[in-house]
Amino acid sequence: MKVPYGWMRQYTEIPVTAGELADRMVMHGTGVEGVEDQREAVQNVVVGKILTVRKHENSDHMVVCAVDVGEAEPLQIVTGAPNVHEGDLVPVAKVGAVLPGGVSIKKSKLRGVDSYGMCCSGPELGVPEALYPSVGDKGLLVFAEPHEPGEDVRPILGIDDAVLDFEILANRPDCLSVWGVAREAAATLGTSFKKPDIEVKTVPGKIADYVTIDVRDSTLCPRYCARVVKNVKIGPSPMWMRKALHAAGVRPINNIVDITNYVMLETGHPMHAFDLAKVRDAHIIVRRANEGETIVTLDGKERQLTPSMLMIADQQNATGIAGVMGGEESEITEGTATVLFEIAAFDRTSIRLTTRALGLRTEASGRYERGVCAATCREAADRACQLVNLLGAGEVIEDVYDCYPNPKPVPVIEASVERICKLIGIDVPGEEMARILTSLDMQASLSGDTLTVTPPAYREDMEQEADVAEEVLRIYGYDHIGSTLLRGETAPGVRSERIRIADKVAQILTAKGFSEIRTFSFISPRLIDKLSLAPDDARRDALRLINPLGEDTSVMRSTLAPSMLSTLALNQSRNNDAALLYEIGPAFQNHGRKAGELPHERPMLCVGAYGEAADFYFLRDAILEMLARFGVAAEVVPGGEPYHHPGRAATLTVKGEAIGTVGELHPDVMAAFELSRRPLIAEVDLERLAALRTRMEHVRELPRFPAVTRDLALVMDEKTTVGSVLAVLRRAGRPLLDEAEMFDIYRGAQLLPGKKSVAFSLSFRHPDRTLSDEEVKPVIDRMLSECEKQCGAKLRL
Amino acid sequence: MAFSDIQEQLRAIREEAEAQLQKVGDKPALDALKLKLLGKKGDLTALLRSMGQLLPEERPQAGQMINAVREELTGKLEEFDAKLRKLEQERKLEREAIDVTETRKRTPMGCIHPISLVQEELMRVFTSMGFDVVEGPEVELDLYNFELLNVPKNHPARDAQDTFYIEDSILLRSQTSPVQARTMLTKKPPIRIICPGRVYRADEVDATHSPVFHQMEGLVIDEDVTMADLKGTLDAFAKALYGEDVTTRFRPSFFPFTEPSAEVDLTCVNCHGKGCRVCKGTGWIEVLGAGMVNPKVLEMCGIDSKRYRGFAFGLGMERIAMLRYGITDMRLLYENDVRFLSQFRDD
């Protein structure tokens, strides 16, 4: 909210610069986004009197002027403006001047003629027509009043103030006003705030003779205040008002409209002015919209209304949306003779829902949504009438319409000085607390330890002791808060189980070369489709957002795979040689969820890889090794997910139940994700891992006797898996077989087609003695015969 | 043969041996020389055999002389042998020398995502101060995300955090505070927790905004907690994270959850308070929101606000990461280009 410094100073003595004020207020509860000094934007621009004008010898459209700028000699200035007349007073930017946008004026040569400055138009000085009427961008700004050459133009044009841009906290709608921030400034600086004395000169008259007002819903409209001004003379408002509005970022229009805006900025009360002649039947009804009712708003759009919305209506139909937008018919125009000022309070929730539903936001609706105090409506209405008096804009009718059936009671808060001190950790004397609260327009009395506080009506945020504590603390100064250490337990804190598991997964996978990624948890449902899951796969039933930013982020992911594949694709598209990645995050399980229930968030690990080192066995073993570190031995069962290569994928199982999958990506899915190099992808259910992990047992004793080792090569069908042969070998070798591993595979001309030769290394050991060949031989024979019987694998001769 | 002949021959053998040894260049030559001098058919053995021709009383002395020479020559040969072996070793080592500056394909360790690095650092600092790490669901009930935190339905404070909804009463948490509400409802004070996690707000993606980001909030509930304890805790956190010269500055603010509330600035980590581009010349950077837990919130969560007080604080981990690592575009954090990720390591 932009507030001119000069406007604040009308009500509060401020013995510091605008910049210092901003610094102080920030530390005492009123945010300041910035301070803009209008005097910095325009510098060294003075009133110049055009003495002579002669034709430019080398140009048809330019002229050469002699301009008196109050110096010993007139300046020679070349200009192309069409409205240059001898004797006119115009703004002159002298050499060294600064204009808005950082333009600086230098001595120059225009078509061979020296020019020592620039005569300016209004827009060149950042002065719109509405602020200082002249010819706009059609030529030089010409001063209408007499001025001395050399005089600074900024005070004349109303651009000589500093403007503070306040950032008002959500709980302080009362500060969305000049009075509000001026009051805060006074409390901050320890000076005093003084509102103007509001007296209205009136002429006799009854409101009822001018208008009938019918407030039919005092829940949504707790207060409706109206005053009538007759014999209105529409015209421009005075310079001081235009200047204040312009600096606050509001365009001056005419005296009546300017008064409504001025009062809104000063008091925080949105106001509306009706041309009473154009109010049908001179009847204003405040009511809820009817079912199915529509309205055409000022922007020309027809809008559907609902009964939760409050309307300003006549007897036939709605003419405006209360607190949001007025009606076009009753707008103030040049010919307006009788004006009705409406100063009302509307229910903020209703306004909020209405603006949401209609997608319509205005300055007024923004203020009503944050809260406009009903108790101070009358004061704002009177202030507007006082300004009508001051501007001579019309005659104010004595009678006032004020419908305020249920004034909101102001709470009386009892607070304990001791408890406040304990809360804020500073010893502030009770008397000092009372003084601070009084400076904030509250009634505060101290009796022993008890502070009795009655906040002003507009401080609707004040409800309890903690609020009193905050008021005291922020004015006393947050910089007085000490720095103490927590007492009590000193044992270090504990991490959640999920984090401990994630930490360990990260440790293992980074050691294996995988880097962690973090991707969005909502994705496009199309990405899930691309996985070619079965039609009834639960993962297709992803949790949908009601109001996503777009389709690409519209469902909570039921699997981490699409995000991983997209990330791999991004890295491939950027020609990154290789990527070994993992992500840990929840998969949101929506399938089977009932309305009102939260989805289960299953912690998952997703690992993806492509590049030279990344083949199936690399990834499988990385995952198996990771599981082993948790004490989980998984079995590798052929066959994985629908998005895996059917012949290059496996499910990892423990006790027959899957804990994860690993595989190469299916070519169709590769194409769908625009991957050019075939990646691998694995997933592990970290919830199952948490359930299955075991504590490490005691160490085994080291063997005391040497092992007997043998290598075997077995010829078998291609289709026979190494895993199944190993399983048979291990079973048949019990109990003397200590280890059995595959170490080589041969395929080629020396074998029959469709056969492979797999070499195993076996080691046998007895715990209590050195084994002899004679003891080992029958074991090997048994292993061979079992392999042949169960797997059709024969010793290669 | 006379005794003097033996003497003469021994002298000749020694001279010959010395001369031959000078010529020996390798092990086979040395072995040949050894055989010639000391072998079974060698010169000294021959000389020993010829002792029979001496007078019996001369024999012991001659034998001693021959053996002395044998020992001397054996020693010399061994000495020479050692020298040769050393030489050979040196030659071998020289042959085996490699270019230690050659390069090979490396398999580097993986890297932890910067957000995780920040989270790890925060957890380390706060667990050392006795805070437990607690987590909660990301898809959350409106009740925990807003209502119990003093933000009733249609409250304007909801506008500040445009929220994604799943159903009327279910949303994507817009803050990690619901974990605090859940903890207060289930655990008796004293409570000392931090809640790191993912949160969601309907912001379009740009250099400084993301609809998905990470927060960490902290909560302490105990009998005598003061705002000075809050400041002390955050001071300790700031120093642990950024160094001893970093302090905090509290500015009044408003959050429905806390009363009084504060925006907390840290000494600019870039310029150490001197004023720079990062802190826009102020010397301070806004990093946390904090305050004393609103008694209304305590009561709604079933904690006696007459007996217990509390403080809470929250920060955005993206902001910490961006400040810490000089990241100027938030999108880099979610794009996961390996060239970006591979730069991160823990300190």
Distance in Å, alpha carbon of A667 to nearest chain B alpha carbon: 23
Handedness of CA A220, A222, A228, A232 (dihedral sign): negative
Which listed CATH number (1.20.1070.10, 3.50.40.10, 3.40.50.720, 3.40.50.970) goes with A202-403? 3.50.40.10
* B56 token code pair: 């019996």
Which of B141, B232, B252 lies nearest to residue A598, judging by beta carbons?
B141
Identify the closest residue of chain A to B155 by CA–CA distance.
A349
The shortest CB-CB distance from B157 to any of A170, A545, A585 is to A170
Candidates B159, B105, B167; CA nearest to B142 is B167
Last residue of a domain, one of B62, B96, B130: B96
Q: How far is B100 from chain A (nearest CA, A)?
A: 24
Please check whether residues B144 and B18 belong to one and the same domain.
no
Which residues does chain B have with pLDDT short of 70? 1, 156-157, 159-161
Question: Which residue's entry shows tokens 């009671």?
Answer: A409
Which pair of structure tokens corresponds to residue A281? Answer: 């039947």
Fold topology of A708-795: Alpha-Beta Plaits (3.30.70)
Contact assessment for residue A509 and residue B110, using Cβ atoms and an 8 Å cutoff: yes
Partnered with residue A432 across adjacent β-strands are none
Lowest mean pLDDT among A62-66, A177-181, A490-494, A662-666: A490-494
Does A549 have pLDDT greater than 70?
yes
Per-residue pLDDT, B329 = 94
Out of B156, B251, B336, the one facing A370 most closely (by C-beta) is B156
| Cβ-nearest to A588 among B112, B139, B156 | B139
Q: Residue A789 has which token pair?
A: 């019987």
Phi, psi for residue A37 in degrees, rounded to 5: -100, 115
- Which pLDDT score, from 0 to 100, does residue B160 have? 59
Does residue A517 contact residue A509 with C-beta atoms inside 8 Å?
A: no
Residue B73 within any structural domain of the chain: yes
Question: Which positions in chain A touch B139 (Cβ < 8 Å)?
Answer: 543, 556, 588, 598-599, 601
Interval A357-386: pLDDT, tens: 888 889 999 999 989 999 999 999 999 999
Task: Judge contact between A385 and A229, C-beta under 8 A.
Answer: yes
User: B9 and B71 in one domain?
Assistant: yes
Among B96, B126, B151, the domain-final residue is: B96
pLDDT higher than 90, residue A297: no
Q: Is A511 exposed, middle or buried (0-12, 13-18, 19+ CB in 10 A)?
A: middle
Q: Kind and range of the H or E element at B69?
A: helix B59-96
In one letter, which amino acid is B337? Answer: D
Query: If we measure between CA atoms, which residue out of A208, A71, A41 comes closest to residue A149?
Result: A71
Tell me whether A465 touches chain B (CB under 8 Å). yes
pLDDT at A133 over 70: yes
3-state secondary structure (DSSP) of residue A474: helix
pLDDT of residue B50: 82
Best residue of A481, A570, A602, A687 to probe chain B, by most B CBs closer than 10 Å = A481
Q: What are the start-end ranges of the H helices in A403-534?
A: 417-424, 430-439, 465-476, 497-511, 525-529
Residue-wise burial string across A704-733, b where 16 or more C-beta atoms lie within 10 A, e elsewhere: eeeebebebbbbbeeebbbeebbebbeebb
Contacts of B9 (CB under 8 A, 6+ apart): B47
CATH class of A43-157: mainly beta
Name the one residue in this structure whose structure tokens are 């994985």: A640
pLDDT at A611 over 80: yes
| pLDDT on residue B161 | 63
Q: How far is CA B151 from CA A465, A467, A491, B308, in A?
A: 19, 16, 34, 21
Closest residue by Cα to residue A643 from A682, A676, A616, A611: A682
Residue B86 in any domain: the answer is: yes
Domain ranges of chain A: 2-38+162-189, 43-157, 202-403, 414-480, 497-692, 708-795
**Cross-chain residue pair B260–A473, CB shorter than 8 Å:** yes
Contact: B224, A348; criterion CB under 8 Å? no
Residues in chain B within 8 Å Cβ distance of A573: none
Helix (H) or strand (E) holding A343: strand A339-345
- In contact, A793 and A755? CB cutoff 8 Å: no
- For residue A173, whether the previous peptide bond is cis, meaning omega lies within 30 degrees of 0, is no
Predicted local distance difference test score (pLDDT) of residue B64: 87
Are B202 and B277 part of one and the same domain? yes
pLDDT at A112: 87
pLDDT digits (tens, 9 = 90+) for A193-239: 999 999 999 999 999 999 999 999 999 999 999 999 999 999 999 99
CB of A118 within 8 A of CB of A93?
A: yes
Do the two domains A2-38+162-189 and A202-403 of this chain adopt the same fold?
no
In three-state secondary structure terms, B335 is: helix
CB B173 within 8 A of CB B164: no
Fold classification of A2-38+162-189 (topology level) = Phenylalanyl-tRNA Synthetase; Chain B, domain 1 (3.30.56)
SS3 B92: helix
Residue B174: which CATH number?
A: 3.30.930.10
Q: For residues B174 and B294, state if they share a domain.
A: yes
Q: What is the DSSP letter of A12?
A: B
Residue in A495, A496, A519 closest to B336 by CB: A519
CB A322 within 8 A of CB A312: yes
Give the residue with greater pLDDT, A701 vs B290: B290
User: Which phi and psi angles does A212 have, rounded to 5°?
Assistant: -105, 130
Of B134, B250, B335, the CB nearest to A478: B250
Residue B80 belongs to domain spanning: 3-96
End-to-end CA distance of chain A: 92
Sign for the pseudo-dihedral over CA of A734, A735, A741, A745: negative
- Average pLDDT estimate for A130-140: 87
How many whole angstroms separate alpha carbon A185 and alpha carbon A191?
8
Cα-only R_g, chain A: 42
Cβ of residue A216 closer than 8 Å to a chain B Cβ = no
Domain count of the fold of chain B = 2
**What is the C-alpha separation between A211 and A392, in angstroms, rounded?**
23
Pinpoint the alpha helices (H) of A693-761. Answer: 722-732
**Position A486 confidence tier, pLDDT thresholds 50, 70, 90:** confident
CATH number of A414-480, picked from 3.30.56.10, 3.30.530.20, 3.30.160.60, 3.40.50.2300: 3.30.56.10
Query: pTM of the full predicted structure?
Result: 0.86
A550 touches chain B (CB under 8 A): no
CB A62 within 8 A of CB A54: no
From chain A, the residues in CB contact with B296 under 8 A are 464
> Do B207 and B323 reside in the same domain of the chain?
yes
Tell me how close the Cα of A498 comes to any Cα of chain B, in angstroms: 8
Tell me if A283 sits within 8 A of A195, measured CB to CB.
Answer: no
Residues of B with CB below 8 A from A511's CB? 109-110
Cβ–Cβ gap A486/B113 under 8 Å: no
- Chain A closest CA to B307's CA: distance in Å? 11
Pull the structure tokens for residue A481: 């808060």
Distance (Å) from the alpha carbon of B276 to chain A's nearest alpha carbon: 17
Q: Same domain, yes or no, for B149 and B62?
A: no
In a shared domain, residues B26 and B65: yes
Nearest CA to B255 out of B219, B228, B211, B294 is that of B294
Determine whether the interchain pair A470/B252 forms a contact, defined as Cβ–Cβ distance below 8 Å: yes
The answer to whether the beta carbons of residues A350 and A220 sit under 8 Å apart is yes
Structure tokens at A334: 């040049």
Q: How many CB pairs under 8 A join A and B?
A: 250
d(CA A742, CA A746): 12
Taking an 8 Å cut-off on Cβ atoms, the answer to whether B140 and A598 are in contact is yes
pLDDT digits (tens, 9 = 90+) for A110-125: 888 899 999 999 999 9
Per-residue pLDDT tens for A718-744? 999 999 999 999 999 999 999 999 999
Q: B72 and B119, same structural domain?
A: no
Of A375, A455, A441, A454, nearest in space to A408 by CA:
A375
Inspect the interface and report whether the beta carbons of B131 and A493 lie closer than 8 Å.
Answer: yes
Q: Per 3-state DSSP, what percentage of chain B is helix, strand, and coil (rounded to 5)?
A: 45, 20, 35
Confidence of residue A134 (pLDDT cuts 50, 70, 90): confident
Is residue A515 scored above 90 in pLDDT? yes
Neighbours of A239 (CB within 10 A): 15
Report the topology of domain A497-692.
BirA Bifunctional Protein; domain 2 (3.30.930)
Is residue A561 within 8 Å of residue A683, measured between CB atoms? Answer: yes
Tokens of A84: 């240059």
Q: Does A233 reach chain B within 8 Å, measured CB to CB? A: no
Amino acid at A561: A
Q: What pLDDT is attached to residue A624?
A: 97
Residues B64, B173 within the same domain: no
Decide if A521 and B338 are in contact by the 8 Å CB cutoff.
no
CA A617 to chain centre: 46
Reported as a pLDDT band with limits 50, 70 and 90, residue A487 is confident
**Of the partner residues A486, A520, A580, the one whose CB lies closest to the CB of residue B212:** A520
Q: Are B265 and B315 in the same domain? A: yes
Asked whether the beta carbons of residue B115 and residue A492 sit closer than 8 angstroms, the reply is: no
Alpha carbon distance B132, B292 (integer Å): 19
Cα B13 from Cα B67, distance rounded (Å) = 13
Q: Supply the pLDDT for residue B65.
A: 86
**Closest chain A residue by Cα to residue B253:** A29
Report d(CA B191, CA B208) in Å as an integer: 33
B311 DSSP 8-state letter = E
User: Is A518's CB within 8 Å of B166's CB?
Assistant: no
Q: B155 and B48, same structural domain?
A: no
Q: Is A773 exposed, middle or buried (0-12, 13-18, 19+ CB in 10 A)?
A: exposed
